[in-house]
Amino acid sequence: MGERVNPIADLRYAATVPPVPAAATRASGALHDRRGRPLRDLRISVTDRCNFRCTYCMPKELFGASYAFLPQASLLSFEEITRTARLFVAHGVHKLRLTGGEPLLRKNVEQLIAQLAALRTPEGKPLDITLTTNGSLLARKAQALKDSGLQRVTVSLDALDDAVFRRMNDVDFPVAQVLEGIHVAQRVGLAPIKINMVVKKGTNDHEIVPLARHVREHFGPGVVLRFIEYMDVGASNGWRMDEVLPSAEVVARLDRAFGLQPLAAHTLGETAKRHAYRDGGGEIGVISSVTQAFCGDCNRARLSTEGKLFLCLFANQGHDLRALLRGQRDGRPYTDEDIAAAIGLVWAQREDRYSELRTQQTPAAQPGQPRVEMHYIGG
């Protein structure tokens, strides 16, 4: 391991070091978990820090000046992230999403994107690389992101009304700058652009129709607005079921306002259910993580900023890949084959399906084993 790390921040989430099989076999690209689900999508958190304090994700009272974010030495380097991503690609991953915290806060993130963009699937195809951002730095960075090889971007935007938006990000950030970021992203050719709105009943659900209207009128069909049900991620947002507005209600409201018709899914494992505007004005998506679980074909793995692998957004136990990336066996560093085999074993044993098992009453996190927080593992 070598490097000194802050034990408090580093040990916040439990993780075990995955066993490395004695004889490693080559990754086949056709790995499946215990429920027959392949591994296709890797979400990489590049920082646990954020310049927003969204009330549902990093409430100010808990993420204040005294909060211990991960120290620099804990973070995976760009080389470590790229190596890990390459091993996941050999196992069948073809989509990478950079997230956080706020990924655009990670210094020189464009260099990481350039390294990831050079990876190829076993069939020689480029990967689908995207990034989820709060949009605050997008106007400034969109061109550099595009130049580094990023294809598309997802921007989180919870309200069109400036006062509501400022209240939800809780750092008084103006909505106009995020809208400007989306315009610049569109201009430099990042496409398709998706906008994600987390809907919290009683907080911003009155913004659904105005935001949809704004996107239709100002961005056009190239920008897809998606509505996410407010989830019980982590343990710090004080989630309550009665603050969830079911996606069916979102669709009903948009149907009344504009007229919608359902669309077929593009791919297996797609999280959003798609609907087209009847007038040809583009489409919207709804992500019903609470009311309609989609664990059955969940093909996503998540890599935390300091190299812990989580197999479910709601997991309370990670798998410490950094220990392998920086560790040794019999006096020699682990090889790519060793680490790929360890990842293969971990995925093969996966059984997670939290959303399917979720009940109206959120089970309390185990003492000493808090569920991972969204700012730490990304969306």
Choose the stretch contacting ligand SF4; rule: CB under 6 A; options: 49-57, 139-147, 200-208, 237-245: 49-57
99 binds, among ligand SAM, ligand SF4, none (CB under 5 to 8 A by kind): ligand SAM
Per-residue interface string for the shown chain with ligand SF4, residues 119-158, x marking contact by CB under 6 A = ---------------x---------------------x--
Among ligand SAM, ligand SF4, none, the one that 288 touches (CB under a kind-dependent 5 to 8 A) is none
**Binding segment toward ligand SF4, per CB under 6 A, in 179-187, 214-222, 290-298, 334-342:** 290-298
The 10 Å Cβ neighbour count of residue 252 is: 12
In the complex, least distance from residue 237 CB atom to ligand SAM, rounded to whole angstroms: 5
Q: Least distance (Å) from ligand SAM to the CB of residue 132?
A: 4
- 359 CB-contact burial (10 Å; exposed 0-12 / middle 13-18 / buried 19+): exposed
What residues does 223 pair with on adjacent strands? 193
> Is 211 a binder of ligand SF4 (CB under 6 A)?
no
Render the burial of 43-56: b for 16+ CB within 10 Å, e for the rest.
bbbbbbbbebbbbb
Shortest Å, Cβ 336 to ligand SAM: 29
Q: How far apart are CA 315 and CA 19, in angstroms?
A: 19
Q: Please identify, among the stretches 5-13, 109-117, 238-246, 351-359, the one whose residues bind ligand SF4 according to the rule CB under 6 A.
A: 351-359
What six digits make up the tokens of 375?
């700012």
Return all residues near 107 (Cβ < 8 A) that are at least 6 apart. Answer: none
Of residues 144 and 345, the one with the C-beta less far from ligand SAM:
144
CB of 157 to ligand SF4, least distance (A): 10
DSSP 372: P
Distance CA 93, CA 87 (A): 9
* DSSP states of 15-44: EEPPP--SSPPPP-S--B-TTS-B--EEEE
Closer residue to ligand SF4 in complex, CB, 57/87: 57
Task: Report the alpha-carbon distance of residue 227 to residue 11 in Å, rounded.
Answer: 34
Q: Which does 231 bind (CB under 5 to 8 A by kind): ligand SAM, ligand SF4, none?
A: ligand SAM
Write the interaction track for ligand SF4 spanning residues 69-108; mark x where CB under 6 A is met and - where it is not.
-------------------------------xxx------
CA 255/CA 340 separation, integer angstroms: 47
CB of 82 or CB of 132, closer to ligand SF4: 132
Beta strand 300-303 with 328-329 is: unpaired
Query: What are the E-state strand segments in the chain?
Result: 14-16, 41-45, 95-99, 128-133, 153-156, 193-199, 223-229, 260-262, 273-277, 283-287, 300-303, 308-310, 317-320, 328-329, 332-333
The contact set with ligand SAM (CB under 6 A) reads: 50, 56-57, 99-100, 102, 132-134, 156, 196, 198, 228, 230-231, 233, 237, 374-375, 378-379
For the bound state, the minimum distance from the C-beta of residue 365 to ligand SF4, rounded and expressed in Å, comes to: 15
Minimum CB–partner distance for residue 200 and ligand SAM (Å): 8
Question: For residues 181 and 282, which CB has a smaller minimum distance to ligand SF4 in the complex?
Answer: 181
What percent of the residues of the chain are helix, what percent strand, and what percent coil, each to the nearest 5? Answer: 35, 20, 50
Site for ligand SF4, rule CB under 6 A: 50, 52-54, 57-58, 100-102, 134, 156, 294-295, 298, 300, 312-314, 352-355, 374-375
